[in-house]
Amino acid sequence: MAHLELIDISKAFGDVYAVTSMNLAVNEGEFVCLLGPSGCGKTTTLHMIAGFEAPTTGKILLAGRDITRFKPNQRGLGIVFQTYALFPHMTALENVEFGLEVRGMGKAERRKIAMEQLELVGLADQAKKYTQQMSGGQQQRVALARALAVKPRVLLLDEPLSALDAKVRVQLRDQIRRIQLTTGTTTVFVTHDQEEALAVADRIGVMNKGKIEQIAAPQNLYQRPATEYVATFIGLTNRLPGASNGDEAVVFGQRVPLLAGSAKGDSVAVLVRPENLTLALAGSSDSHVGERARVEVIHFLGSLVRVDTVITSGEYQRWNKGEQLKATVQLPASELPAGLAVGDDVIVTP
């Protein structure tokens, strides 16, 4: 049995459905990310789990018990918001203690637990500091300690990193995952940042228009996306013209294997990851496959290089709604043709 279950949940605001017939099962100790663009219903879903919004239809079960109509404080959940929502006139320690105090815990015990939680987030030495004197990253760690102090049955994180600068964001993201693994807390994390989701989640539910379009482990989502939406939302994808028999396609004269369940057709769009394309300087090889292209931008990414090209054969323009067809190639830096420069003619091959 799943620890947290959303069964056929919908939420309407007037005529607008923010969430439609959504199902989600989160196992005990699991870290699930809900990922999707702005407006797809992530926050509304989290608010229904937390009890801030009542679903229009459907049920929410926690450890098998129907909590759909429970008030937020009856659910035993911990929540961290995008903004820190701390009391500025209280110290870090007092903020973490607060949730325990409202639950009626005695002073000595709550102080002990609050200190343990501050230790866990690496802020034991800042316990006496007022939160308004702390950095954004520190404040969010206090908020995390506060949410964890009550030993939540589920930890809900609503874009907790989006107000932080890039470096702090990565550090705190990794720290959240380490703490979650240590404590074994079942966690639902909402984000629009795919890199964040890929880095921390056991499973990612990719949301589109109020529904989960696919839920799977990060690697499976990337390697076996179920839909074009998921393929283009997770990672970079080229959309190239090809002919498919359902098992294989021919793209730029090259035969490529397809995922099970792919469509057949003489003129279909084939989604190809940049690392599944390669390039050579035009005239450097006598291969009969590949398509002529011009280098537009070269991005050096350390051990990898990404090369944006535009296909120079005009034959695909009609297929691509009048636009020139582009292809992005990603290679290990060691495989980049020597001296490749912007404007060079190349042959791009799957």
What residues line the site for ligand ATP (CB under 6 A)? 13, 16, 18, 36, 38-44, 192
Q: Which is nearer to ligand ATP, 13 or 300 (CB)?
A: 13
Q: Which is nearer to ligand ATP, 41 or 55 (CB)?
A: 41
Least distance to ligand ATP, CB of residue 36, Å:
6
Q: Which conformational region is residue 307 in: left (phi greater than 0), alpha (psi within -120 to 50 degrees), or beta?
A: beta
Q: Which is nearer to ligand ATP, 43 or 138 (CB)?
A: 43
Q: Which is nearer to ligand ATP, 37 or 246 (CB)?
A: 37
Q: Which is nearer to ligand ATP, 9 or 179 (CB)?
A: 9
Decide: helix, strand or coil at residue 127.
Answer: coil
Least distance to ligand ATP, CB of residue 53, Å:
8
Least distance to ligand ATP, CB of residue 81, Å:
11
Least distance to ligand ATP, CB of residue 210, Å:
7
Task: Check: CB of residue 238 under 8 Å from CB of residue 271.
Answer: yes
- Distance, in Å, from the CA atom of 235 to the CA atom of 272, rounded to the nearest integer, reads 11
- Lookup result for tokens 């090259």: 254
Least distance to ligand ATP, CB of residue 51, Å:
15
Q: Which is nearer to ligand ATP, 19 or 92 (CB)?
A: 19
Q: Which conformational region is residue 339 in: left (phi greater than 0), alpha (psi within -120 to 50 degrees), or beta?
A: left
Least distance to ligand ATP, CB of residue 42, Å:
4
Q: Which is nearer to ligand ATP, 36 or 290 (CB)?
A: 36
Q: Which is nearer to ligand ATP, 13 or 319 (CB)?
A: 13
Task: Check: CB of residue 279 under 8 Å from CB of residue 329.
Answer: yes
Least distance to ligand ATP, CB of residue 43, Å:
3
Task: Check: CB of residue 231 under 8 Å from CB of residue 225.
Answer: yes
- Pairing label, strands 77-80, 31-35: unpaired
Least distance to ligand ATP, CB of residue 288, Å:
47
DSSP per-residue codes, 265-296 = EEEEEEEE-GGG-EEEETTS---S-SEEEEEE
- Distance, in Å, from the CA atom of 123 to the CA atom of 135, rounded to the nearest integer, reads 12
DSSP per-residue codes, 78-114 = EEE-SS----TTSBHHHHHHHHHHHTT--HHHHHHHH
Q: Which is nearer to ligand ATP, 43 or 131 (CB)?
A: 43
Query: 123, 131, 98, 99: which is closest to 179 by C-alpha?
Result: 123
Helix (H) or strand (E) holding 12: strand 4-13
Least distance to ligand ATP, CB of residue 195, Å:
16
Task: Check: CB of residue 76 under 8 Å from CB of residue 148.
Answer: no
- Lookup result for tokens 């999707």: 36
